[in-house]
Amino acid sequence: MDRQKIILFAVLLSIFSSSCKSEPSKDRNEPEKKVITENQASNNQDTTQVTKFVDDDEFVFGVIDNDLPISYFKSQFNLIEKQVIQNQHNPALSDTVMIFSNGKDTANFYVSPSNTILQEAVINSQEIVLNDSIKVGTDDEVLKRRFNLKSIPDSLVVKDFENSSYFLFTFQKSKIDRIVYKARYYD
């Protein structure tokens, strides 16, 4: 399992376990959390991956609404999969899962008669720009300023206050290497 998948798994596990908080944190500089990866645990290595968590509804929902709409993916990407599924609330209705890709980046949408929801996006290229300036290759200083952080370790999770959606930024040599968006709840 490669490093990014391990970090993503550890972050997902951490977010899932923290989603039961009774009151969201208002602290913009949440503490760093050390995550020992699966490979490190099995090899008894002393190194750890460090992830910083930030709550920011404005960023998360602003990017989803303004920078990642389905219309962008329909016009710029290829539709690689379209699956019609039964609506879980009304069996008489059908919903659609649509997956778009440009060969480097992918986006997965859940489309119902009343709503279109981005479920997941994996961004590996510099083609997709978030919040007017954030893309793969962007220096970590941009995110430090945007989220008022003193440092950014191996990865940064920017999530909504309810932990239902988040962006995971992973870094190599102080630059964004990959961006992953996930919606955990879309019912």
Look up the pTM and report it. 0.74
Cβ atoms of 143 and 134 within 8 Å: the answer is yes
Let me know how long the chain is. 187
CB atoms < 10 A from the CB of 36, how many? 14
d(CA 80, CA 174): 33
Strand 155-159 to 49-55 pairing: parallel
Asked if 86 contacts 63 with a C-beta cutoff of 8 angstroms, the reply is no
pLDDT in tens, the chain (187 residues): 455 555 544 554 454 444 444 344 444 444 444 443 333 333 444 345 688 999 999 999 999 999 999 999 999 999 999 999 998 888 999 999 999 999 999 999 999 988 999 999 999 999 999 998 999 999 999 999 999 999 988 999 999 999 899 999 999 999 999 999 999 765 5
Q: What is the residue whose two structure tokens read 């980046």?
A: 105
The whole-number pLDDT of residue 4 equals 53
Q: What is the largest CA-CA distance in the chain?
A: 55
Nearest CA to 10 out of 42, 48, 46, 47 is that of 48
Which whole-number Å values give the CA distances from 141 to 137, 149, 183, in the listed order?
12, 9, 26
- Report the alpha-carbon distance of residue 22 to residue 142 in Å, rounded: 31
Rounded to the nearest 5°, which phi and psi values hold at 70? -60, -30
- Compute the distance between CA of residue 182 and CA of residue 117 in angstroms, rounded to an integer: 11
